[in-house]
Amino acid sequence: MPERVYTRFDDDDVPSSKPSKPSVTSDKPPAPSQGKKRKRGELQSNPAPEKKASKLLADHASCAKTQQNSGNINGVSRSGPPQQNGIPRNGPGRDDKNGHGHGHGQHGQHGHLSKKREILLPLRKALPIWPHAEEIKAGLRGSKDVMLLTGETGSGKSTQVPQFLLDEPWCKGCIAITQPRRVAAISLARRVAEEMGSLLGSLSPASKVGYSVRFDNSTSPNTRIKFLTEGMLLQEMLRDPWLNQYSAVIVDEVHERSVNVDLLLGFLRNLVTGDKKGRNGKPLKVVIMSATADIESLFKFFDEGFQKSLNTCQKAKGDHTQTNGANDSDSSWSGIASSEDENSKKALTKKSKPNGVGKSNGERSLKRKENPSISPEPIDLTSDFMYTCYIEGRQYPVKIMYLPEPTQDFVEAALKSIFQIHYKEPLPGDILVFLTGQDTVEALERLVNEYALGMDTNVPKLLALPLFAALPQSAQQRIFHPSPPKTRKIILSTNIAETSVTVPGVRYVIDSGKVKIKQFRNRLGLDSLLVKPVSQSAAIQRKGRAGREAPGVCYRLYTEKDFVGLEKRTVPEILRCDLSGSLLTMKARGVDDIFSFPFLDRPPREALEKALLQLLQLGALTETGGISEVGLQLAKLPLTPTLGRVIVEAAKPERDCLLEIIDIIACLSVENIFLNLITEEKKEAAEEARRELYRREGDHMTLLTTVQAYAKENSDRKSWAERHFISHRAMQNVMDIRKQLRQQCTHLKLLHPSKIPLKESPAAPSEAQTNAILHSLLRGFAANTARLMPDGSYRTMLGNQTVAIHPASVMFGRKVEAIVFSEFVFTNKSYARGVSGVQLGWVGDVLGSMG
């Protein structure tokens, strides 16, 4: 009875039980429409010659049913179809942060620069955000220090907002704008420099736009707009906690909710609602840019900060004057808000009850929650200190198709959908498939290629392109090449395409509805990497990838009911990661009481306590919970506290193996340097080629040997890496980090400059050195130790859990009395990765010394 049929849910991503208007749903077949409707059997009219293919298509044909193509569109339609203003794809301000859209070099001459600026100006003026310039400027004047801004994809917010604010009277200093990713920071800076007719960063002392990311700082004395990664701004706050060089901080892509952005928001709230005494009276304006759905919680977050500050201020006043009514809220308003104009004064008097405004807006926005994808109606979330602004985006409508029945095998379901789309839909229109990981990507790639062989010759060709982070850069670049003639590209991707990489040419998205997600388990102290259902917001994000260039279709490989049952939001990273690094960051920036730090989402007390305990065990905190000398050193290292602690240990005179440890740590802080090989043939070849690098002491000494051998190779490192089946890109990263860590350690007086060899030392480490290295590792990873049990398994020293040595380890299959490991991950079972053999007595010593 249940026909396998894609059903379409019109219009809204989050269906409510009673749709506000009639829509095509799963229980009623759509009314036939005159236009593009295709017959059911149409797929069969193109029978594939090969049996497999024809079987597949026949299967799918019976379930393929196209829905009427109503003019109803999903997403933002208010501003009409995009690109009507002659704006090219990837044109100005379209949030193209891959750096592929406009890779112009610098034009050396002033004339060129201003000409470029003139050319770009009309394109800027056509952006959806342009008409809001005055509103945005006005929104931050007077007592209003915080602006919440939602701008959908393609609104131009990342490029235009800093330029709007630049000439405001309060803006005497620099504007910082943060990005979650390096490429985004750099390509946005390049774009804005062009728009302003300025050279980029350090290219000229006069340049007004720069950027700052790890390993790459490009600013000038005259930089007014600086794009930086979130981590970079946090790092700057270590030196300059009041952010004195900035007049404004713009935090972009807040909805991605990285750990760093959460910390940043907490610090910024404290700054902007605090006494600002370190800023010598200079104002600091904060702009938060995020998805519409987050605005309410962000508003509450900052509003709470302002309320608290009012209460504190008022209490202080009460204490001083010894007079009335500490709870009389009205009397306190004028105390803190030194309003600069009549309007804000009026606003002050209007707001009689602290919660009044927020509440009514809360009710209104609840309505929106049911339909988050409709055209945003402005919600009037305003306070005396905040302004909320909505910018429509440029997004084409995307139809959604659901499976009528859940599927167990999303790879097979994706395969069927790919061929269904390919046979049904005319070119152009590439297909983007969201899968969980390298394994499913490669499995589907093989299947697509296999079935494509059986396609009729008059059917367009298929080109399957895998996309995942571990893929070499050159292979990743293939997705940007235009399709060959009469060919449809099928991009098989992990969630890298959700945020990090924008694939051009996509009109069809197939969403497996699954994602591999990392979760830190406090009690066990280990990371889990598990396949889980995506959240609704992630599903919406994936769907949106189909509507970047033309109207599109999103095939969800789950039912509409499944979608309704999904979590609304992806759990923010800060609630599912090890917090020790974050807490160290906070302690180093003067947050004494981490339990009162303003978290947008507060991690459970247990997680905070666990992290504090870990920092204590590393010696990063004093007995009283203050930060120690070691802790300050760790906070300055671009490493996790654990890895940092290994560095500090290795610098001790009795260990004296810092350079070696730096090489190892550099490897541990990049992705796997050893390439994953698929065919048996290559695996064997790699085994053979790497034999000279393998060390029986374990993975850490193997990494050291590898770095030393690579560094020693002066002629052609790339071919050396290829010969040894080692990722050259990862090794370049390792060398960058090695350099940075050496510098850092010199600054921290852990390393004397005279110790850095001018030439790469070829000497293999002695046994004494090896022991020193392993002891240093043990100091940081004391909790990651296990002993061999009589039955041949390993059990952790703390917690007595079973761990298996990961198959990729050189220690795999070996039995030694004890092991130390730098990574502990749960996938199918608990695995130790990065394993070295150690003496049981050493482990006892280090555990004993920690108490």
Residue list 175-194, contact with DNA (CB under 7 A):
180-183
Q: Which of 408, 458, 474, 828 binds DNA (CB under 7 A)?
A: 828
Is 727 one of the binding residues for DNA (CB under 7 A)?
no
Q: Which stretch binds DNA (CB under 7 A): 78-86, 228-236, 651-659, 795-803?
A: 228-236
Residue list 788-807, contact with DNA (CB under 7 A):
806-807
Q: How far is the CB of 709 from DNA (least distance, A)?
A: 21
Are 822 and 784 in contact by the 8 Å Cβ rule? The answer is yes
Q: What is the rounded CA–CA span in Å between residue 563 and residue 205?
A: 53
Is 239 one of the binding residues for DNA (CB under 7 A)?
yes
Is 271 one of the binding residues for DNA (CB under 7 A)?
no
Q: Which stretch binds DNA (CB under 7 A): 125-133, 226-234, 313-321, 714-722?
A: 226-234
Distances (CA, A) of 304 to 375, 598, 600, 633, 744: 28, 9, 11, 34, 39
Scanning 322-433, the segments in alpha helix (DSSP H) are 329-336, 342-350, 356-370, 410-424
Residue 226: both structure tokens together: 């600086």
Please tell me the number of Cα atoms within 13 Å of 773 on its side-chain side. 25
Q: Which of 15, 82, 231, 376 binds DNA (CB under 7 A)?
A: 231
Those residues whose C-beta lies under 8 Å from the C-beta of residue 532, and which sit 6 or more positions away, are 514, 515, 516, 517
Distances (CA, A) of 784 to 520, 697, 743, 832, 833: 15, 17, 28, 9, 10
Is 542 one of the binding residues for DNA (CB under 7 A)?
no
Is 669 one of the binding residues for DNA (CB under 7 A)?
yes
Q: How far is the CB of 716 from DNA (least distance, A)?
A: 26
Q: What is the rounded CA–CA span in Å between residue 112 and residue 515?
A: 46
Backbone φ and ψ for 785, nearest 5 degrees, come out as: -130, 150
Q: How far is the CB of 214 from DNA (least distance, A)?
A: 3
Read off the amino acid at residue 48.
A
Is 477 one of the binding residues for DNA (CB under 7 A)?
no
Those residues whose C-beta lies under 8 Å from the C-beta of residue 603, and which sit 6 or more positions away, are 574, 575, 579
Q: What is the rounded CA–CA span in Å between residue 441 and residue 468?
A: 8
Total site size for DNA, rule CB under 7 A: 57
Q: In terms of CB distance, is 382 or 633 closer to DNA?
A: 633
Q: What is the rounded CA–CA span in Å between residue 643 and residue 781?
A: 8
The strand order across the sheet containing 487-493 reads 7-8, 398-402, 552-556, 506-511, 430-434, 487-493, 461-467
The strand order across the sheet containing 386-391 reads 216-218, 209-213, 225-229, 174-179, 246-251, 285-289, 146-151, 386-391
Q: Which of 78, 353, 367, 683 binds DNA (CB under 7 A)?
A: 683
Fill in the DSSP letter of residue 375.
Answer: P
Is 516 one of the binding residues for DNA (CB under 7 A)?
yes
Q: Which of 496, 524, 571, 689 binds DNA (CB under 7 A)?
A: 496
Those residues whose C-beta lies under 8 Å from the C-beta of residue 186, and which sit 6 or more positions away, are 99, 211, 213, 216, 227
Q: How far is the CB of 617 from DNA (least distance, A)?
A: 18
Is 23 one of the binding residues for DNA (CB under 7 A)?
no
Q: Which stretch binds DNA (CB under 7 A): 107-115, 513-521, 611-619, 782-790?
A: 513-521
Q: How far is the CB of 825 from DNA (least distance, A)?
A: 6
Q: How far is the CB of 679 from DNA (least distance, A)?
A: 11
Residue 30: both structure tokens together: 């759509």
Site map 417..446 versus DNA, x via CB under 7 A: -------------------xxxx-------
Residue list 317-376, contact with DNA (CB under 7 A):
none
Is 258 one of the binding residues for DNA (CB under 7 A)?
yes
User: 339, exposed or middle or buried, with CB in 10 Å at 0-12, 13-18, 19+?
Assistant: middle
Q: How far is the CB of 163 from DNA (least distance, A)?
A: 23
Q: Which of 31, 58, 366, 469 binds DNA (CB under 7 A)?
A: 469
Q: Which stretch binds DNA (CB under 7 A): 84-92, 631-639, 703-711, 816-824?
A: 631-639
Residue 212: both structure tokens together: 């700052």
Q: In terms of CB distance, is 110 or 446 closer to DNA?
A: 446
Is 824 one of the binding residues for DNA (CB under 7 A)?
no
Q: In terms of CB distance, is 213 or 731 closer to DNA?
A: 213
Is 732 one of the binding residues for DNA (CB under 7 A)?
no
Interface residues toward DNA, by CB under 7 A: 180-183, 213-215, 217, 229, 231-232, 235-236, 238-239, 258, 436-439, 468-470, 494-496, 500-501, 515-518, 529, 573, 581, 635-640, 669, 672, 676-678, 683, 740, 744, 806-808, 812, 825, 827-828, 831
